[in-house]
Structure 1
Amino acid sequence: MDIQVADSLLGTLVDGRYRIRGRVARGGMATVYTATDERLERTVALKIIHPAQARDPQFLERFTDEAKTIARLTHPNVVAVYDQGHHNGLPYLVMEYVRGHTLRDVLAQRRRLNPGEALAILEQMLAAIFGAHRAGLVHRDVKPENVLVAEAPSGGPGNLVDSVVKVADFGLARAVEASATDADGGQLMATVAYVAPELVTEGRADPRSDVYSAGIVLFEMLTGRVPYDGAQPVEVAWQHVDRDVPAPSSLVPGIPPVVDELVARATRRDPQSRPTDAGAFLSEVQNARDDLGAANANTAVLRQVSPRTEVIPRISATTAEPARPSWARLPGQAEPPAPSGRRRAPEPAYDDYDDDGPDRRGSAIGDRYRMVMAHPNGRMAVAAAIVVIGLVAAIGGWWFGMGRYTVAPQLTAMTKAAAQEQATRGGFTVTFGPGRYDEKIDKDVVLTQDPPAAGRILKGGKITLVLSLGAERYTVPDVTGMTLDLATVQLEDAKLQVTKGPDRYDDNLPKGVVIAVDPPVGTETKPGDKATVFVSKGKAPLTVPRVVGKNVNEARNELIGLGLEPLIAYKASDQPRDTVTKQTPEDGAGVEKGAKVELEVSEGPPQVVVPRLIGLPCQQAVQQLQGMNLQANPQLNPNGTVFAQNPNENTPVAPQSQVVLYCQ
């Protein structure tokens, strides 16, 4: 079983003041921890940006501006900033710690809220955002992840109407006057599920953009889902431009019309038709709450996966559809041409008839008909006209019934590119419906088509294709350092079934936080796969002593005296025999009583076999022994010939042992 590496910052003292206790969340730009301010003895939230972002001077400037921005917003519904600094080269913010959950967590648990709860939360959200609007700031990223719901001071668990709501993460906020001249490289930074249409088409935002996003959040609180979905972020973004947000009551029957109207007012595609800022929208919400009273909505059954903030490319004007309203077209895009057609023929005039009334006109027509039929050529003309009319009717009937139709080509099981090419070759246009996951069909292969293969279709008509999204897979998120409850929410969002494994001691992580998950972080899993989380019991009660370098008997006695069980294994080593060369776990590690400590003990240096030296010149024998890491001790005549030796040949001895040579 793989055990992931723990967060090295847990337990760290930052700036000599803030002791990091646990990790709350990890985002694309920074990680948020809980910490204790040891100077004021209070719990705070510590936001430290990632090293990759620290290398970007522009981001560091934005991060510094974020601290100054939020510090200006002294509002009870805005998360306060207390301090700012750097730790190991990484900037950090010290913020107010809100005891509760994000609105995303609430929706994950409750699925959806009744209108009374939703409007109560929205009212406090708008109060916070209006405080920013009055300061000349635009949030730009209003979404459930940035809304914190604290415990209700006057109610028990689940009482959302009286809960305290705070808006966080004004990191994307910009001054209104600065956003009016912003030209930041053609990229859009926002969460596409909540992005206002003008941010997609023009890349600009004003207070009405925050009103739009707040309206989408209200829609999600009421229905349990966001209004638009798509395979790619850009597809979702353009739906905000091209489509009106549906009424919440169309998805959840019973929602009052006054609430539908609030959503419709806030999410108008034309910014001019929305409330001018969060304060104006707040007034409408308060009036709606007065009308609504304390009515509750039914329990929801839908669930929305938390979206991520995406950076998507600005779409060029040539890709926009010509039917967009003027406010939604990109700069330079021309008005669509007015429809052209034949001039309608004028109504037949009745100047040839008497103008005495309908009876007189009818009589004149009858007289003329009788005159024509009285002539033989007239009767033939009438007969020919009837035949012609019949032929025209028959041909027209055939055309409208069969002639203008053909059969749809076979496109299923083709790749996206091949299906488009085949359809274009046949003169058809192709559109794509929402993709579907499939365990057996590769991604971007056509699953179904409408109309089906060989089905009747207008010549040059439209074929809708549904592409495979491939096998549905999710990546195990990094939940190390989180509480068990928060880790469970994130793992369940990844479609995993969570089980709790046995608690373990850990030298680095405090008691009660997750230290490992199986499968490991980053593993791809199927929906419904099981994930086991292991929670820290804190540091173990016993500390392993250092016994490396000691004699094995001394090390054994020391470990047994502490209540530990030594396991000894001899291995070859240059160290003297019976010397401990390695221990597992290492010294300083925390273990329980009775834990096993593995010791590697030296067998001593490898021995050398003494060769036969008798009959060799004494000096030659000396050189041979020195080359074998042995010491030679010649006796009698050093310049003579060896006639005896000690130890005898083939005797194993330790390196540097002395061999006596008797020479004559």
Structure 2
Amino acid sequence: MDTTVADTLIGTTIDGRYRITGRVARGGMATVYTATDERLERTVALKIIHPSQATNAHFVDRFTDEAKTIARLTHPNVVAVYDQGRHQGLPYLVMEYVQGRTLRDLLTQRRRLSPVEALAILEQMLAAIAAAHRAGLVHRDVKPENVLVAEAPSGGVANLVDAVVKVADFGLARAVEASSADESGQLMATVAYVAPELVTDGHADARTDVYSAGIVLFEMLTGRVPFDGDDPVAVAWEHVDNDVPAPSSLVKGLPKALDDLTARATRRDPGARPTDAGALLAEVQTVRDDLGAANVETALLRQVPPPARGAMVDATTVVPAVGAGDRPSWARLPNQAAPRGQEYTAGRIPRSAKRGAGGTDRRRILLSAAVAVMVLVVIGSTWWVTLGRYTDAPSLINQTKAQVELSAQQQGFELFYGDGAYSETIPKDTVVSQDPAPDGKVVKGGVITVNLSLGPERFAVPDLAGLELAAARGELEQINLKLKEGEGQYSDTVPEGAVLSSNPETGTQLKRGATVTVTLSKGRAPIRVPDLNGKNINDARRELAELGLAAVERYKDSDQPKDSVIGQTPKAGTGANKDDQVTLDVSKGPPLVTVPDLTNQPCQQAKATLEGMGLRVRVDFNPNAFVRSQQPGGNTQVEPQTEVAIQCF
């Protein structure tokens, strides 16, 4: 199916200069197109970052910085970067267009390569990576997908020895790594090629690229990677726990030199590897030269017949081997010699053959003794290197920190503490893993690395209130938690689309991968609650009913008039839905006053008493006499401001 049909960028002109003509590939972070640079009239490759990455400002800044660094790399084996910019907010790179295929495509087609082809490709790979290392740049994602094999002048990519190899995507893995905490903890290098130190502590340097290049060599020679499986995490830890096997264990007949080269490049201890790609390149060139010389010697022994008795032959026949001098200058080590010849000499009689038999016997005895001594030295050295200096590593699993330190003191080995690991079952500060593993081989008095339990891994739910949905999701993903959107609610204070609340609530400790449900605001509810304070309860009921709201009444003592509204919940102006309840506080009226019995009291004194109680007084007859009767009578309860009539005479 033609995937370009649905791609809206095909035919688009970027930045008024780069007209996109086709799509080459789509990866996890970017899509690569072919484009025509209409200003310089040349074909280029244009890599546009996916929108999901472009929203991360930190990634974009880091990507731009790395692009500038790569652009300064000038090397025939590095895919050149010509330009960078943005199209509709998406960062893009303009790069050299390499006419050819990736090393992955070649391995898919041919499965594996010959040793000569593999070393020829590896040399150019390492030349490119070495240039980056000298510039202080680590690739971090060396793999066949990032190695381009250009068509060779001698006839396409089929002739791999003459093909030009270019390495792409320098620095892009670093930009992505810096923009995420473990893209959920996820490794930034492909797990089939990841170095052990990148798995255990996330550290990468030039030796990390050396390890990945060694894995690529293994795959070119054998047709497979050393560790594979369905679980990426398990595959990554295979690199930490196991040595890379010898290529000859899978493909019979491969030279031991290739096994040794692969082993040196893929040692689990970074300090035991070549220091950078340049150091590994020197070893590769030496192995390639030696293999070329060995092939020439074998061919001479098979093809040059012995001279006929009495025939005249040249004293020396020189056959050149494919060596360092045949390489271009950028792939040759400083001061490396020109091509060396392999000499086959015939027709000369050694002087020693003219000596007597006694001299020959003496030489044979001395030679035998020397060989015997050498054999003993080799056997002893081999035993010491492979077995004698090693002992079995003790089992430290499930021991406390104090216990392993005591064991180290008693058994004479050194301890190195790793970064530790979280565990749901093993208590904190107890050993969860060790390297070498129990009963594994360790140099006497050597170092055993232990990782202590950090206890259960937990992440506190952050305060998400008021955040937009995307921001809340990002906050949770950074701490390895998942977001679930719950049912929304109306809010008068939180804008629509922002987080109202979370469940579990802020501060709750959760396991990795746990889900936090957030409630989003739907904005203000559609009905506005009216102001009912001071209105008669009957009028308030009617007004709420007309709006589709229900009244709930609570009667309270108050000095306000009876049956008047003295409070409401929710407040006036609050949003509400149809059939929502509005609680109304209704006045019972002022408290009742108990009228005292004023009989036989002076009239003026009685009047003052009643007025002091908030009652109105009417005096009948003689105001200077004594109270003989009253209405209402004594001990009667009346409302404030009720009139009390007193009769005085």
TM tier, smaller: 0.3 to 0.5
Taking CA–CA contacts closer than 8 Å with sequence separation of 6 or more, which of the two structures ends up with the larger relative contact order? 1
